[in-house]
């Protein structure tokens, strides 16, 4: 799901909680913990009201094109996201023994720290947004917008002209990089001022992840997929661009991954109908769910990209859709449907664990439904796609998925090394890691992206785990309910029992709850290797994801995750997870 507001508001999407304290004895004054608990409860309520206000404004902007100024929503709340309040939450966290409350308070601190950073960097962010919107570069005697570069690369047939486009955009890229460098330096200063030992320490808490463990997994994935990746990319490059993979540059990548074979199978008038028919087999009727509202109006100023906004979970969940043709439009809609179902079936009573939280688990549910467009059975059943067209489409989409997994691994390693080492020049570090990741030689205009390609606090950690968990979910669904699991009402009940937890469980806990040993990429890599007809093996232990609180998992609100049957069948492997839209390499 797309961010609600520019840079770092997404940082606010972490687990939060309203701690409960036992009543003080009439004869004794409140304890420190009881006093802090009341204050933190009020802070949480204010944050909830603010976020709901912001979501309503974003909804109006997204669906109707109304002007929106999120900054005005903070007026009168200057005393909310302060260092003082962040330290009070931290103090209450130190005094808390309950594992569930400790997890919630840890995340609440991250939430407030993220909002504090967002406000402190507001001037930098606004300057960068304005600059990016105004930047242009010359193409064939006319000026084009810098932000249109990737689209132009994808549409350009000539490799020579694609490289010329990338080279022509270099001055604009360097101007943008100067502003990005200043923001990065300021961000590091602010994180340390908040009391975190390092940028990585804050990022790990924000992502609710063991970044060191994930970096080991990222390195192992790069090693295990290196040769299969080169084989797959060589095939795709010859077929799509009539060029050897060894001659490609980064400018060729946006055009390499396209879904031309099946575009006509997804007309816009069938876009929403395909959603309803896919869910009927699961026993889910969206039209009978008043808490999920779908806005399918074709308004001129409506954003063409689908978006789910959980205004109030689960009572008011909204999905915006502007019908459009093509497989990418359908995939994006299915992705947002996954989000809407997750929010709409949540039974977690606490706002902090229902609406907020680390996005990994929610993104996994969204990827699961987007993945239907990569399932050969679903493609034939719901889109009439079969034969050679289906085979070529699945080969291209699976290659794109492998590319994105490796790109996420490389970016994670780059970000970690960048903030751990001071003995290497960032541009050189970027070239060394990403040249290996993409297996494409870096040109000067590619190396210049070393700042543009940086992420806010290790975002790839979320994508990484979400893709792996989605693969495990699909494997369990196929193993339990058959290859066409979307036809099973039992599968629907299975998913509802997971969605009921909201964001209260981590990706590791969800994977264990469905019968896996832990979060692991094995199922996904096996499926990709099968579809692409290249062996991919990874001999690693499941990725650990220690909870931020003590090791004991939080008690679910009401429902419990489905237990593993005594003789659960092995996961099936057909199909591949769909690739989430990438800002630089859309299919």
Q: In what order do the strands lie in the sheet with 316-320?
A: 292-295, 316-320, 307-312
Fill in the DSSP letter of residue 270.
G
**92 Cβ contact partners less than 8 Å away, ≥ 6 residues apart:** 19, 33, 36, 37, 40, 105
List phi, psi (to 5°) of 527: -65, -40
Token match 């050189």: residue? 428
CB 576 within 8 A of CB 398: yes
Question: Residue 502 has what pLDDT?
Answer: 92
Q: What is the Cα–Cα distance from 505 to 552, expressed in whole angstroms?
A: 12
Read off the pTM.
0.85
Question: Residue 349 has what pLDDT?
Answer: 86
Token match 């390609």: residue? 453
CB 167 within 8 A of CB 211: no
Question: Residue 99 has what pLDDT?
Answer: 81
Q: What is the Cα–Cα distance from 29 to 252, expressed in whole angstroms?
A: 69
Compute how many other C-beta atoms are within 10 angstroms of the C-beta atom of residue 150: 18
Element (H, E) at 399: helix 387-420
Question: Residue 111 has what pLDDT?
Answer: 82
Residue 112's nearest CA partner among 28, 51, 30 is 51
3-state secondary structure of 367: helix
Question: Residue 238 has what pLDDT?
Answer: 94
CB 228 within 8 A of CB 534: yes
What is 48-60 written as a DSSP string?
HHHHHHHHHHHHH
3-state secondary structure of 293: strand
Question: Residue 437 has what pLDDT?
Answer: 96
Burial class (CB in 10 A: 0-12, 13-18, 19+), 393: buried
**574 Cβ contact partners less than 8 Å away, ≥ 6 residues apart:** 375, 376, 377, 478, 483, 527, 530, 531
Q: What is the mean pLDDT of each run of 10 residues along the chain (587 residues)?
A: 40 43 64 94 94 96 94 93 94 90 82 90 92 92 92 92 94 93 93 90 90 94 95 94 93 85 90 96 96 96 96 96 93 97 94 86 97 95 92 92 95 94 90 95 92 90 94 97 97 98 92 94 94 83 42 38 34 32 32
Q: What is the Cα–Cα distance from 124 to 431, expressed in whole angstroms?
A: 26
Q: How far is CA 270 from the centre of its chain?
A: 27
CB 448 within 8 A of CB 174: yes
Q: What is the Cα–Cα distance from 396 to 385, expressed in whole angstroms?
A: 15
Q: What is the Cα–Cα distance from 416 to 43, expressed in whole angstroms?
A: 32
3-state secondary structure of 144: strand
């Amino acid at each position: 799901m797309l961010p609600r507001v520019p840079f770092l508001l997404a940082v606010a999407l972490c687990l939060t909680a309203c701690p409960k304290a036992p009543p003080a004895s009439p004869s004794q004054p409140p304890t420190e913990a009881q006093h802090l608990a009341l204050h933190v409860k009020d802070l949480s309520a204010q944050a909830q009201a603010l976020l709901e206000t912001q979501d309503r404004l974003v909804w109006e902007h997204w669906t109707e094109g109304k002007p929106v100024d999120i900054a005005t929503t903070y007026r009168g709340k200057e005393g909310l996201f302060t260092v003082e309040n962040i330290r009070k939450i931290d103090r209450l966290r130190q005094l808390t023994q309950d594992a569930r409350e400790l997890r919630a308070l840890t995340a609440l601190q991250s939430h407030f720290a993220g909002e504090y950073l967002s406000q402190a960097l507001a001037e930098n962010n606004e300057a960068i947004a304005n600059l990016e919107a105004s930047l242009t570069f010359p193409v064939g005697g006319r000026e084009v917008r810098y932000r249109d570069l990737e689209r132009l690369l994808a549409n350009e047939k000539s490799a020579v002209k694609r490289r010329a486009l990338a080279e022509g955009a270099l001055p604009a890229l360097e101007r943008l990089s100067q502003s990005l460098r200043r923001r990065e330096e300021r961000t590091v200063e602010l994180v340390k001022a908040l009391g975190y030992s390092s940028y990585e320490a804050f990022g790990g808490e924000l992502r609710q992840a063991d970044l060191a463990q994930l970096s080991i997994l990222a390195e192992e994935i790069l090693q295990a997929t290196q040769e299969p990746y080169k084989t797959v990319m060589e095939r795709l490059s010859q077929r799509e661009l009539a060029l050897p993979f060894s001659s490609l540059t980064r400018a060729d990548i946006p055009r390499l991954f396209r879904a031309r074979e099946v575009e006509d199978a997804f007309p816009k008038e069938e876009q929403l109908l395909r959603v309803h028919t896919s869910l009927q087999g699961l026993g889910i009727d969206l039209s009978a769910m008043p808490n999920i509202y779908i806005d399918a109006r074709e308004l001129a100023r409506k954003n063409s990209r689908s978006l789910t906004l959980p205004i109030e979970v689960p009572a008011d969940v909204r999905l915006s859709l502007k019908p459009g043709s093509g497989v990418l439009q359908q995939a994006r809609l299915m992705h947002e449907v996954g989000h809407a179902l997750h929010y709409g079936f949540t039974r977690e009573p606490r706002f902090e664990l229902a609406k907020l939280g680390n996005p990994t688990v929610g993104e996994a549910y969204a990827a699961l439904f987007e993945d239907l467009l990569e399932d050969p059975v679903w493609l034939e059943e719901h889109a009439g796609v079969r034969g050679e067209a289906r085979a070529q489409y699945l080969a291209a989409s699976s290659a794109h998925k492998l590319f994105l997994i490796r790109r996420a691994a490389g970016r994670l390693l780059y970000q970690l090394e960048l903030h751990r080492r001071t003995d290497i020049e960032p541009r050189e570090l970027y070239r060394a890691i990403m040249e290996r990741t993409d297996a494409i030689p870096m040109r000067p205009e590619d190396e210049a992206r070393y700042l543009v390609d940086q992420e806010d606090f290790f975002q790839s950690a979320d994508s990484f785990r979400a893709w792996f968990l989605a693969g495990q979910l699909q494997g369990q669904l196929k193993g339990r309910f058959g290859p066409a699991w979307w036809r099973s009402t039992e599968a629907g009940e299975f998913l509802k029992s997971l969605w009921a937890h909201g964001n209260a469980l981590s990706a590791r806990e969800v994977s264990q709850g469905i019968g896996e040993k832990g979060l692991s990429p094995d199922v996904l890599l096996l499926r990709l290797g099968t579809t692409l007809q290249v062996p991919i093996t990874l001999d690693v232990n499941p990725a650990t994801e220690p909870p931020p609180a003590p090791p004991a998992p939080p008690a679910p609100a009401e429902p419990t995750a489905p237990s593993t049957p005594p003789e659960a069948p092995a996961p099936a492997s057909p199909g591949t997870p769909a690739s989430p839209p990438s800002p630089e390499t859309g299919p």
